[in-house]
Structure 1
Amino acid sequence: MEQPLTQYSRAEYIETETGNKVSRKSVICGSQNIILSGKTIIQTGCVIRGDLRRAGTGHAVVIAIGRYCLLGQQSIIRPPHKTYKGVFSYYPMKIGDHVMVGEGSIVEAASIGNYVEIGKNCVIGRFAMIKDGCRIEDNTVIAPHTMVPSFSVYSGNPGRLVGELPECTQELYEARSKELYSKFTAV
């Protein structure tokens, strides 16, 4: 399916040297602890919390985001947390390449693999691990500590396996994310 041309105002987005397009109306906390690999689109109202600290170290955790990702409007990306021996602490988060996070979704996963599509209004629980080539349907809640296997489709509340994707999913998601990026143009 061909992606539509999406135009945005040059005044509304900042484009970095590595091709990231970041809305001025997004909330990026602790930007020194957020690694964008390049050609990622961060849309209006997206919140990324790179300012949350790991207990005892005084250092904020790192959020690493791969290439050709799309973080949708009003989505929230924050690192997972837990209390261990009475100490509350945040932990690093890694998001792979060609990942789409839908509008209004909240992500607290430990890791999201490459070629993953997370639908609108989803909740990805703390320390969940989503492997490569997965799709999380709209309005799905993935419970904390869930491991979503490669090439699977999850849906519902709580999220359950409802289907499988073919191995060509990686090529399809990669082509779609590159096309979406190329058609996200300034006017």
Structure 2
Amino acid sequence: MLSITSSIDAQPVHYEKSEYIETDTGNKVSRKSTIHGSQNIILGGKTIIQTECMVRGDLRRTGTGHAVVIAVGRFCLLAQRSLIRPPSKVYKTVFSYYPMKIGDFVHVGEGSIVEAAQIGSHVRIGKNCVIGRFAIIKDNAVILDNTVVAPNCVIPSFSVYAGNPAVMVEELPTCWPQIMEREARPK
């Protein structure tokens, strides 16, 4: 049996306020992170982008006007050295990027690369994971450390995936959303 909930007893992480920029909606963005195309990125509120994280909002379809490239929900954590970039493909001889949507209460671990089309709410992605292009991770899922999720893969709700390639190794309890919310909200 894997211990998914052991991190609940973890101590709060404190940060140096001068290292972060805080927005009106309570988002905290490290001054040492790299945000490209910020006009194409929406942060829902209370989201933290840590040191050396890179978010690529500049990778979007060509054309006029601004489009939301990456939408991140509330109470999310994009950990150190993670890379968030929209998925891309060649369609009818034209290379294009497509939007990415990340739900609420999502934790992306250190050093992970995410190119998913959609990540549901209450999802935890471990350290050093690779989430392939156009993958869909449904609500209430866990991707363990060092896991590689294949492109176009669909991860079902209440499941735990691990390995390279990712395979289901466990099911989550139905109380998983409450566990993630309790972990994310300030005490």
Q: TM-score, normalised by structure 2?
A: 0.92
- For the pair 1:169 / 2:176, whether they are aligned, the reply is yes
- Report the equivalent of 1:157: 164
CA distance in 2, matches of 1:88, 1:55: 10
Q: Which runs of 5+ in 2 are unaligned?
A: 1-7
After TM superposition, the structure 1 stretch with the greater mean CA deviation from structure 2, 9-18 or 55-64, is 55-64
Question: What letter matches 2:181 in structure 1?
Answer: E
Q: Kindly indicate whether residue 139 of structure 2 is the aligned counterpart of residue 147 of structure 1.
A: no
Amino acid of the structure 2 residue aligned with 1:81: S
Unaligned runs of 5+ in 1: none
Contact 2:39–2:66 at 8 Å: present in 1 too?
A: no
For 1:97, the equivalent position in structure 2 comes to: 104
Find the counterpart in structure 2 of residue 39 from structure 1: 46
Corresponding residue SS for 1:175: helix
The answer as to 2:111 corresponding to 1:111 is: no
> 2:145 corresponds to which letter in structure 1?
D
Q: Distance in 2 between matches of 1:28 and 1:85?
A: 30
Corresponding residue number in structure 1 for 2:128: 121
Shift of 1:10: 1.9
- The Cα shift of 1:57 comes to 5.5
Deviations 1:84-126 (A, max 9, x none): 0110000000000000000000000000000000000000000
1:5 aligns with 2:12: yes
Which one-letter code corresponds to 1:142 in the other structure? V
Q: Please state how far the C-alpha of 1:21 moved relative to its aligned partner.
A: 0.6
1:151 CA drift (Å): 0.3
Q: Post-superposition shift, 1:4? A: 1.4
Judged with a 3 Å threshold, the aligned counterparts in structure 2 of structure 1 residues 141 and 57 are, in CA distance, closer, same or farther, namely farther
Are 2:59 and 1:52 aligned?
A: yes
Which residue in 2 is equivalent to 1:132?
139
Q: Residue type of the partner of 1:130? A: I
Contact 1:155 1:161 (8 Å CA) reproduced: yes
On the 8 A contact 1:52/1:60 being kept in 2, the answer is no
Aligned-pair CA distance for 1:7: 2.0
Where relative contact order (Cα < 8 A, 6+ residues apart) is larger, the structure is 1
CA distance in 2, matches of 1:61, 1:6: 30
| Aligned-residue offset at 1:53 | 2.3
Is contact 2:106–2:122 with CA below 8 Å preserved after alignment?
yes
**AA paired with 1:25?**
K
User: 2:149 is aligned with what amino acid?
Assistant: I
